[in-house]
Structure 1
Amino acid sequence: MRSLITVFVALLCAATPMAAAEPLPTPVAIEIPSGGYVLHAQLYRPGGAGPFPTVIGLHGCGGLAGRSEPVLPRYRDWAQELVKDGKAVLLPDSYGSRGLGPQCRVKERRISGRRERVADIVAAQKWLTQQSWAMPDRVSLMGWASGASALLWAVRPQLPEHVLPDFRSAVAFYPDCRASSGLGWSARVPTLVLIGGLDDVYSPPACRQMIDGARGRSALTRIVVYPGAYHDFDRIDLPLHQVAGADAAAPERGHVGSDPDARADAQKLVSDWLAR
């Protein structure tokens, strides 16, 4: 009898189609008027009408798009993770909107982190406050490398223009903290900095100094330094290597490479930080 029941259950399972896997979200191109130009962006959204918490993601010096894709894998992977967590993600393209390619090795950069990129952040935030599907009091910032450096400027108390309600929180992956650490940096919103202890593109000690110096005169700030990790530790399947050649989308110096353990920990920290 038991064997007959086992066979019946097996046949029933075989005859019942498996639930279809949730399709991965695809980005929608967005145009945001901003002064004398149009800020192009890519938007990822969960299904439904919302309203959703939203993250403004800020690309690094290599830009947002690839040769054949509107969003590079690093940002696409994070956007998909955040969407699974119930958040919308808006990715402004600061370089492509101005007709520029990667800016990592450009000697005379036309885009400043503290001016043009902060202006893009403000424009993106203003646009989000006008969208019925976005929660205006739950807009956070997340940036990588030079995008994270721009984020540090955008959350300073001295920012001359920002939209109310203010950002909920901010997460900066391996920013260049050297300028901010020497200028008495502080933040008006909770800010988390994540960087590899072996990052030789930027300076973990400068980020530690920046965060330590902000205590007592800032919103909540925290730094996590991953001892064995390098720059770009949160990218998937990037073998560790020293930057070489003249790739305009790569840093000028140092090592880059994935660290699965650091990435997994960062995913949990980011989820917890954005849930505040």
Structure 2
Amino acid sequence: MTFATHLFPRKAFAALALAGACAGAAWAQPAAEAPVVLQQVELPLPSGAVLRAHWWPAPQPSVHATASAQPAVLALHGCGGLYAKTGVLSSRYRETAETLHAAGYAVLMPDSFGSRGLHDVCQTRYRDRTLGVNDRAQDARAALVWLVAQPGVDAQRIGVMGWSNGGTTTLNLLVQRHSDLQEGEPPLAGAAVFYPGCVPLLKRQAVAESVPLLMQLGALDDWTPAQPCVEWAAALQARAGSDVTVHVYEGSYHGFDGTAPVRLRGDVPNGTSVQGVHQGGNLQARAKSLAALQSFWSRVLGTRKAP
């Protein structure tokens, strides 16, 4: 499996910073079923296309306190897209947005699929996908430039996270930035991923940007197996000054941080078995992984200050 790397011309992201500061056009939102006050914004891409995203600015101090810049997290969805089959924001992403916002962080969730007329690519073989993780990494880079231009965002405290395909995208983002950090792109305070795919990264011995990294994996994952990520992470950990943490949860499949029961998905052709892949939650792994995630963000982004 190979992915072509498409890098934009240098200074393209610098131009986006100015455009991003003014972008904020509304777009149609699926009917909400949870009290998540996400704004719908449009982010300009260097190609001239538009990336739709959900944006939730960080809560500001009371009117009697001085406003200050707050941390922000860029969250990247998995191969199933941002939405449930009913058209509402999936519970995993609603929960994440609420938890991050309650901690005092701004949240930006790009819709890489819906922006291109796609919904779900889980059932499409890797080689047949029209949108690869390197393309999505370019979405993330543009989103970071837009994010740092927003009022109230602390440019020194920005994190990125992703699940599955979004986790793989996050890792490829770090690899891209290691060799080609472009003008206008902010530094990253940390990155966190759930069950990404690491086989291509391991095969080419890719080197990633040196930022605090949290990898959370399922020991029984037969969709994106844990072992390649463990081995690739070990190579990163061998570098001087590295800050890479890996948690592998026993008895856990792909999607262990969710609440749905484990099921065999015969419609997914990208796993280790021709029979399909297992997907579903593990209550113990869910609790431990979400606690580890909160601890990680507290460490690299800081905790919310009392008014």
Same fold (TM > 0.5) = yes
In the alignment, does 2:43 pair up with 1:25? Answer: no
Q: Which residue among 159, 163, 173 is the counterpart of 1:144?
A: 163
In the alignment, does 2:65 pair up with 1:54? Answer: no
Q: Which residue among 203, 225, 232 is the counterpart of 2:255?
A: 232
After superposition, residues 234-253 of structure 1 pair within 5 angstroms as: 234-236=257-259, 238-245=260-267, 253=276
Residue 191 (structure 1) aligns with: 213
Distance 2:201 2:184 in 1: 22
In the alignment, does 2:173 pair up with 1:173? Answer: no
Shift of 1:50: 5.1
Q: Which residue among 154, 162, 172 is the counterpart of 1:135?
A: 154
Q: Which runs of no fewer than 5 residues in structure 2 stay unpaired?
A: 1-33, 61-66, 301-307
Distance 1:162 1:155 in 2: 16
Q: What is the aligned-residue identity percentage?
A: 31
Shift of 1:79: 1.2
Q: SS of the counterpart of 1:78? A: helix
Residue 305 (structure 2) aligns with: none
Q: Which runs of no fewer than 5 residues in structure 1 stay unpaired?
A: 1-22
- The 1:172–1:162 alpha-carbon spacing in structure 2 relative to 1, beyond 3 Å, is farther
Shift of 1:217: 2.3
Q: Which residue among 182, 186, 195 is the counterpart of 1:161?
A: 182
- Assess if the C-alpha contact under 8 Å between 2:140 and 2:173 holds in 1: yes
- Assess if the C-alpha contact under 8 Å between 1:232 and 1:258 holds in 2: yes
Shift of 1:98: 1.1
Residue 211 (structure 1) aligns with: 233
- Assess if the C-alpha contact under 8 Å between 2:198 and 2:229 holds in 1: yes
Shift of 1:233: 0.6
Shift of 1:84: 1.3
Structure 1 length normalisation: TM-score? 0.84
- The 1:209–1:91 alpha-carbon spacing in structure 2 relative to 1, beyond 3 Å, is same
Shift of 1:47: 2.9
Residue 120 (structure 1) aligns with: 139
Q: CA RMSD in A?
A: 2.3
CA deviation string 1:22-45 (max 9, x = no partner) = x94322111111122111001233
Deviating above 4 A after TM superposition, structure 1's stretches of 4 or more consecutive aligned residues are none
Structure 2 length normalisation: TM-score? 0.75
CA deviation string 1:249-272 (max 9, x = no partner) = xx9931111112111111221122
Q: Which residue among 250, 253, 257 is the counterpart of 2:280?
A: 257
- The 1:184–1:245 alpha-carbon spacing in structure 2 relative to 1, beyond 3 Å, is closer
